[in-house]
Structure 1
């Protein structure tokens, strides 16, 4: 793993967030504008990013490696769901924020940070494996993630099932079909989704910065629960996974992709989903994104070195 490439890419994404923070502070975007922008990203740009991840990609790896990575996708999210329950039991952030912290544990920044990092280390052909994780991520966040954001705490009898029918879920299912059937679409279509998906990267990070600008930064960076969460998600979780994965007979690339992705900071989609479906202002999750994005510039190179 090239530690300098990893650190540089994370700095670029963090600066995008700083740009959004500055835009809000200068009055270029209002609180209502931030909400509208988050809706645009969740419902249009993010689904395009999902589809562009699998569209017209060449499958050059064998069935064993593909199956291996699919199993690792399931393992990662099952592990994160369990660890999210463990964290709220230990940290006790309060009923109002339990589900927010669980979302922050379960959904790291796989797409916006994961894709450029993985491709810089393992090459463009490896993006198909990141796409597996992203499809799993989106199937989960646009179902279980929305469930948590509503504050129902897992009580599915109160969950409006119609919310499962949304652009993000539709794009995830369509992405699976495109990959499984190896569908080739016209280049113009592929370029469209690629350009739209690329727009999601900068705009989503800027939107997170705008949300952070609406919060009390001093309280975010002095919050013991936020600090504990940061140590838990960026250090403890990856360090637990490293020796465990060494025991499994998996390909070194599969191992490296898993470790890098599970060491990512909080995904910006968490705040967007909370704002779009949960009715909250997303300040706690935005604070977690800001803090973990900053700290991860040190922890991800450290974890990659240890791994």
Structure 2
């Protein structure tokens, strides 16, 4: 097992933040223009990314493996949810940041960083299972996650069916239906969706970079609460996942490795994107995304190596 493919994937994605920082420092884009890019990501490119990830041939074995991943993911997410509020209160966060912290501990960067890293580590066959983890994340992000972000932004919620209908969830539903019915989109349509989906990572990283460009270094590196969130997200969460998987399966097959690496991902960039869109604690989210991504350069290789011992 080679560590360099993991590091190179993370560094390559991290470099995509630089243009956003430059555009902010040079005042090339306004906040409103950056907000428009956020909307493009949330409402167009990300749903296309999900649909493209689900364009895989149906089989009963794949369905069984997917069900296994679903059960284990939900179990681990339930454990994370149970510890998230006590953690948020322990580090003395205000109410709005507590909801955001629960979101950040639950949802890692399983798509933008997770899929490229898992592909580099375990090959193309592992990408499907990484997409299943991403699918589960997407469903919860665009339901439970949206509620947490809105609570963080101080919104008055009226929870109803319409509350959960959004482009991201629609993309998940379309992708899942196509997979279950074993429908492969024609190249003309599928290729276009793939191209749009491929824009998600650079656009997301650009938006994060733009937010970082408005922060001072001391604001990023000197926030104890952000370090505490990174510690839980990058060490406690994957250790819990590793223990659950070890007790459940015993050995680390490809499925187990995908699960553990998926939960070892840094805070999802969507925390920053959604916080900007809903006018919540965007700066706090962005600092957590950035610092956890940097520190994950150390922690992800550690867990990848542990599973090979």
Structure 2 unpaired stretches of 5+: none
Question: What does the per-residue CA deviation read over 1:213-246, in whole Å, with 9 as the maximum and x for residues that have no partner?
Answer: 2223312211110111111110122122223321
Where does residue 136 of structure 1 map in the other structure?
A: 136
In structure 2, the CA distance between the partners of 1:155 and 1:30, relative to structure 1 (3 Å rule), is closer
Q: Displacement of 1:91 after TM fit?
A: 1.7
CA distance in 1, matches of 2:154, 2:306: 36
Q: Give the CA RMSD over aligned residues.
A: 2.2
Residue deviations 1:54-107, cap 9 Å, x none?
Answer: 124565955543332222232232233223223213222112311111111111
Alignment match, 2:95? 95
1:75-94 → structure 2 map (5 Å cutoff): 75-94=75-94
Following the alignment from structure 2 to structure 1, what is the Cα–Cα distance between the partners of residues 57 and 270?
24
Name which of structure 1's ranges 284-293 and 82-91 shifts more when overlaid on structure 2.
82-91
- What do the CA deviations read for 1:177-224 (whole angstroms, capped 9, x no partner)? 111111121011111111111101111011111112222331221111
Residue 175 of structure 1: SS of its match in structure 2? helix
SS of the equivalent of 1:33 reads: helix
CA shift in 2, pair 1:44/1:62, >3 Å = closer
Contact 2:211 2:286 in 1 (8 A): yes
Change (3 A) 1:134 1:122: same
Q: Which residue of 2 aligns with 1:11?
A: 11
Q: Name the count of aligned residue pairs.
A: 306
CA spacing shift, 1:151–1:62, aligned 2, 3 Å:
closer
- The aligned counterpart of 2:180 is 180
Gaps of 5+ in 1: none
Q: Quick one: structure 1 residues 155 and 20, their matched pair in 2 at CA, closer, same or farther if it must change by over 3 Å?
A: closer
Q: If the length of structure 2 is used for normalisation, what is the TM-score? A: 0.92
Q: TM-score, normalised by structure 1?
A: 0.92
Alignment of 1:1-307 (within 5 A): 1-57=1-57, 59=59, 61-151=61-151, 158-159=158-159, 161-249=161-249, 252-276=253-277, 278-280=278-280, 282-307=282-307
8 Å contact from structure 2 (residues 44, 167) kept in 1: yes
The change in CA–CA distance for 1:233 and 1:138 in structure 2 (over 3 A counts) is: same
SS of 1:150's equivalent in the other structure is helix
